[in-house]
Structure 1
Amino acid sequence: MATDKDEHKEDAAIFKDSGEDKQLLPQKQVQIIDPVKAVNSLGECCEKDPAEQRISLKAYRRRWIVLFVVALLNNLNTMLWIAFSPISNHVDTFYGRDSTIYFSAVYIFVTIPIGIFAIYSILIAAWANGIGAFIRLASSFFPDDMPGFRFPVGISGQAIAALAYPFIMFLPTKVAAAWFPDNQRTLATTIGVMSNPLGVLLANLISPMIVGSCEHVKILNILFSVPSIILTVVASVAITSSEPKIPPTLSASKPSYPFIEGIKKCFTSKQYLVLLLVMGGGIGMFNALYTLMQQLLCPSGYSNQFSGFTSALLITGGVVGATGASFVVDRTKLYVETMKVSMAVAVGFGLVFLQLILHREMDIWILLACFIFGVFGLAAYPVGLQLSAECTYPVSETTSTGLVVLSGQIQTIIYLSVMKTLATPLQLLYRKYEVCTLLKVAEHDHLSSIPPTCGHGNISINVADNEQTVEPMDFTLSIIVMSMIAAFIVLILLLLFRPKLRRMEMENVLLSADSGKELEVGVKIEEEKVNLKIITPDGVQNTNEN
């Protein structure tokens, strides 16, 4: 049998260019054994191979409860964020001019400073989300003669709910790594992260259906806030630990870098920096797109309902694509190939979609392009998050994923600013088609036909002067610039991204035997059943079936 020194050389070969801390490399041949069957399977262990030094693997059934809470929390928090975007005209009437932009932007601005310090914690996220939802709900009940209190209270609740967002966005990959076996990691990540765009889908479907005037905003707040408050209680009862006592995989059993050291490792990895730019760009563009979806479509005559349906179809395609990609990647481990194909196709159809929305009566083609864009665009999201963990291992998944999310939020601010800055007032020639305003003043002969202002004096329509509350904008130049940026980002991915899958390589090292002898470890985890084939110190194989 080879010496420990030889083993270290073999193990370190994978990381010879990375300067990896050798304390994180395996110090001896790793053997896997179910702790309950250890003595029965192998008899008494010799001093050179004590049972307590073996790594035990176990997948707990309650991992699905943890994942369910994280996914639902992600979903509800996103709904609180996005619910006002598809009904911006009515929300601006209820809370005040441009309030929709502030309700959306506060999430982005809060995430950036809080995200750096966000530590893995489901309960912090649940309570911040629940309290914020309750305060925003309370803002709905100020009477019409006190409209000035609605926005300050509502935006305060939104800001508190936004505190939960960085915690929530960093959870899926960490939960997948800590609780799930390697053949379920990408699927678990997909379920966790896709609950975010699923929240976008539900918000874009439900909001236009519920809100027909500013008076209905109160109903919408009740509908979205109550489930968040209930989930706070459920999470407090159901979540008792952040990690299982026994890890489900070999990589989960190894220590991670401290936070500051992990940050340094991430920013010194060229491949991770490429992924940081590309994934951040994808997240930023997606956020900007669905935040401005209604404003992008309404100048061409597409209604709030169509905008909501378009966003819903985008997410539906994304759920299909991400689920399919997760199954493929979990079985083939083709992370990089899946990421590149998904991003390339997504950008292609995304550019088509952006061009189509500039034209009238293109409903079917817009929906088709949107669906395909969603299938491939959101398929890249969970795969990219897994890649961030793979190419930075043994940096904590919280750190590697968190930086990607922060990059996405920063780029969201940039892209929103670019699109709003480059937008110009819609030309008079095309204003007869737009449906951005609350009503067409020319169509109303009497003041009584004007919708209620819900007590907000600064949101009104001056019939005499033919003034309208919402200025329709032309986003043609914005779309051209964003299309160029998207094409640039995907070229960087295709040409420069060639990472090592370090976590997967390390697991292979941990499973390899010395002296050319292969350590056979057949790990088949079905719920809590483990089937193991183990080589004992004297070279004898013992099979333990549980």
Structure 2
Amino acid sequence: MSDGESVPLLSPPDASCTYKLYSQRFYVLFVFFFLSFDQNLIWLTFSPIARNAEEYYKMSEATIDLLLNWQSILFIPCLPFVYILLNKQNGLRKCVMLVAILTFISTILRIIPLVISNSSSPHFHEISMPFLHAGHILNAICYPLVTAPVSQLSCEWFGLNERTRATTIAIIANNFGGTIGYIMNPLIVHSPSDVPRLLYIHLSLSFVACVLTFLYFPAHPPSPPSPAAEQLSSAINDENSSWKSHMKNIWQCLKTPSFLLICNAGSLSYGIFNVWVGLYDLILKSQGYSEIQTGWFSFGSSLSGNIGGIVFAALADTRPFRRSFKLLLTIASICCFISLVWFILMVPTYFYDQLILPSSAVTIGLSLSLAGLFQGAGLPLFYEALAEVMFPLPESLSASILVQWSNVISLILLFIAPNRGKLVNLIALITSAISTIMILCARFTYKRRDEDEKIQSIKHISDHSQDDVINQT
């Protein structure tokens, strides 16, 4: 499908339908935020406390890396099934329930060795390892369940001028879990004997999230909040939906030039940056920065990304910028590139070992925070831009392709990354420039917003006509 072709609507919405916003949408978003936050917090359990965890469980650094990497390993095969589930009736609710159950079970599994044995036992390592791996595998399965539905959740529950902010909050929830984990875990675990305390805290958080989910999480609002939500509901309820139709929709995305440019720009930006942030310790080791300092750099970068996402999303929902995704993404991408250049000039580069610019902890932290700020600012806009370009295809489809390709890029870079901090710096800089060029070349359309505004305009005229008839009689 070329950019100039129009996509037929699945069914014409009823102009007499009243589009109403329900207060429950905030509770639904809060529960989703809590579950996504927990998922990433649990995933990051041992990395910030690696030395204490190694001593407590008598496990190696490679084992801790594997517990972390289960998420990347399982993401690619699990995501297609998540997409199919999302596009079944009540699919969003089923995904959320599954996250709540699996996250809770994963934290229980990690507690079992503490109950049936103790760390002084000579067999504690052999007993605990299967439970730890099983727990982290279940938690890893939840990752696509909290990343794929973000655009669909905002479309199903939020109004025309709230969707970008709702998508942003759903996205940053997962990142925020990691951000807090970098700081909270070392504060709780001062010695190996404190490791169980952290696991019980995670168990408590997952239990609360599970209870909140099962107490109340409706499948959908009583009535659609927008024409786009009505179209989405019609598509999900279509009995002809099958693997064949899903593959046809994917092919439709892959032959749309604008989709490919925007999706590749977002995937490169997000996939490379995620790995790069995790390598601060390696990149800055030659300059004498400790693990604690690089941990604070990671925290500042992640926190800035969350703030940037919220600020740009709020801006995108205001009247002057509702059709300015390209402008906002270009600004974010250029500013991120400039921040990366500043940082790279303050560390040994791939070509020169000598520093080009003088550096200090303040300037290093500031450059990394600015890079995180502008990278995070653009991420939610990629989700929303892809949903607009590919409307009326489900929002979960474009989001799934984006996060799947992003994860593939991250895995590729992970194979390159070991002990190659300078090369990863260079790759991050080059891909940032390429992403900017792709954004500038892409043609941004607003099919979903156009359809929403057209139908709401028809409804508004219809309501006034009915009022005039009533007044005349």
TM-score, scaled to structure 2: 0.84
Aligned to 2:148, the other structure's residue is in SS state: helix
Q: CA deviation at 1:299?
A: 4.2
- Tell me, in whole angstroms, the C-alpha distance in 2 between the residues paired with 1:299 and 1:226: 40
- Tell me, in whole angstroms, the C-alpha distance in 1 between the residues paired with 2:274 and 2:191: 25
Distance 1:353 1:488, change over 3 A: same
Task: Return the match for 1:79 from 41, 45, 55.
Answer: 41
- The residue aligned with 1:46 is none
Q: CA deviation at 1:361?
A: 6.4
Distance 1:16 1:273, change over 3 A: closer
Task: Return the match for 1:124 from 98, 105, 113.
Answer: 98
The answer to whether the Cα contact below 8 Å between 1:114 and 1:166 also exists between their aligned partners in 2 is yes
Distance 1:541 1:481, change over 3 A: farther
- Tell me, in whole angstroms, the C-alpha distance in 2 between the residues paired with 1:366 and 1:339: 24
Distance 1:361 1:343, change over 3 A: closer
Q: CA deviation at 1:261?
A: 3.6
Q: Deviations over 1:464-490 (max 9, x none)?
A: xxxxxxxxxxx2233223322332232
- The residue aligned with 1:505 is 450
What letter matches 2:153 in structure 1? V
- The residue aligned with 2:403 is 405
Q: Which structure has greater helix proportion?
A: 2
- The residue aligned with 2:148 is 170
Structure 2 gaps, min length 5:
87-94, 349-354
- Tell me, in whole angstroms, the C-alpha distance in 2 between the residues paired with 1:347 and 1:413: 22
- Tell me, in whole angstroms, the C-alpha distance in 2 between the residues paired with 1:189 and 1:396: 14
Task: Return the match for 1:58 from 20, 28, 37.
Answer: 20
The answer to whether the Cα contact below 8 Å between 1:278 and 1:493 also exists between their aligned partners in 2 is yes
What letter matches 1:26 in structure 2? P
Aligned to 1:535, the other structure's residue is in SS state: helix
- Tell me, in whole angstroms, the C-alpha distance in 2 between the residues paired with 1:352 and 1:196: 28
Distance 1:490 1:268, change over 3 A: same
Distance 1:265 1:113, change over 3 A: same
What letter matches 1:482 in structure 2? A
- The residue aligned with 2:126 is 148
- Tell me, in whole angstroms, the C-alpha distance in 2 between the residues paired with 1:418 and 1:91: 26
2:460 aligned with 1:482: no
Aligned to 1:21, the other structure's residue is in SS state: coil
Point out the more displaced range, 339-348 or 184-193.
Answer: 339-348
The answer to whether the Cα contact below 8 Å between 1:99 and 1:151 also exists between their aligned partners in 2 is no
1:273-422 matched pairs, under 5 angstroms: 273-331=260-318, 332-333=321-322, 334-356=324-346, 358=348, 362-420=360-418
The answer to whether the Cα contact below 8 Å between 1:91 and 1:99 also exists between their aligned partners in 2 is no
- Tell me, in whole angstroms, the C-alpha distance in 1 between the residues paired with 2:310 and 2:18: 30
The answer to whether the Cα contact below 8 Å between 1:390 and 1:500 also exists between their aligned partners in 2 is yes
- The residue aligned with 1:157 is 135
- The residue aligned with 1:432 is none
- Tell me, in whole angstroms, the C-alpha distance in 2 between the residues paired with 1:299 and 1:228: 39
RMSD: 2.5
What letter matches 2:392 in structure 1? P
Distance 1:234 1:503, change over 3 A: same
Task: Return the match for 1:266 from 250, 253, 272.
Answer: 253
The answer to whether the Cα contact below 8 Å between 1:385 and 1:401 also exists between their aligned partners in 2 is yes
- The residue aligned with 2:221 is 244
- Tell me, in whole angstroms, the C-alpha distance in 1 between the residues paired with 2:467 and 2:228: 26
Distance 1:483 1:92, change over 3 A: farther
What letter matches 2:366 in structure 1? L
The answer to whether the Cα contact below 8 Å between 1:184 and 1:330 also exists between their aligned partners in 2 is yes
Q: CA deviation at 1:139?
A: 4.5
What letter matches 1:383 in structure 2? L
What letter matches 2:267 in structure 1? G
Aligned to 2:463, the other structure's residue is in SS state: strand
Point out the more displaced range, 483-492 or 384-393.
Answer: 483-492
- Tell me, in whole angstroms, the C-alpha distance in 1 between the residues paired with 2:413 and 2:45: 20
Q: Deviations over 1:266-303 (max 9, x none)?
A: 22221111222121122212321233333433443222
- Tell me, in whole angstroms, the C-alpha distance in 2 between the residues paired with 1:266 and 1:185: 21
Distance 1:308 1:371, change over 3 A: same
- The residue aligned with 1:6 is none
What letter matches 1:165 in structure 2? Y
- The residue aligned with 2:465 is 536
2:160 aligned with 1:186: no
What letter matches 2:75 in structure 1? T
- Tell me, in whole angstroms, the C-alpha distance in 1 between the residues paired with 2:264 and 2:48: 28
Structure 1 gaps, min length 5:
1-14, 32-53, 425-474, 514-518, 522-532
- Tell me, in whole angstroms, the C-alpha distance in 2 between the residues paired with 1:477 and 1:213: 35
Q: Deviations over 1:506-535 (max 9, x none)?
A: 22332455xxxxx646xxxxxxxxxxx823
Q: Give the aligned length.
A: 433
Q: CA deviation at 1:540?
A: 4.6
Q: CA deviation at 1:539?
A: 6.5
What letter matches 1:282 in structure 2? S
- Tell me, in whole angstroms, the C-alpha distance in 2 between the residues paired with 1:222 and 1:375: 33
Task: Return the match for 1:205 from 183, 193, 203.
Answer: 183
- Tell me, in whole angstroms, the C-alpha distance in 2 between the residues paired with 1:343 and 1:139: 47
Q: CA deviation at 1:357?
A: 5.2
Q: CA deviation at 1:337?
A: 1.2
Point out the more displaced range, 275-284 or 206-215.
Answer: 206-215
- Tell me, in whole angstroms, the C-alpha distance in 1 between the residues paired with 2:341 and 2:104: 38
Q: Deviations over 1:181-229 (max 9, x none)?
A: 1111111111111112211210111122233444433332222232012
- The residue aligned with 2:92 is none
- The residue aligned with 1:98 is 62
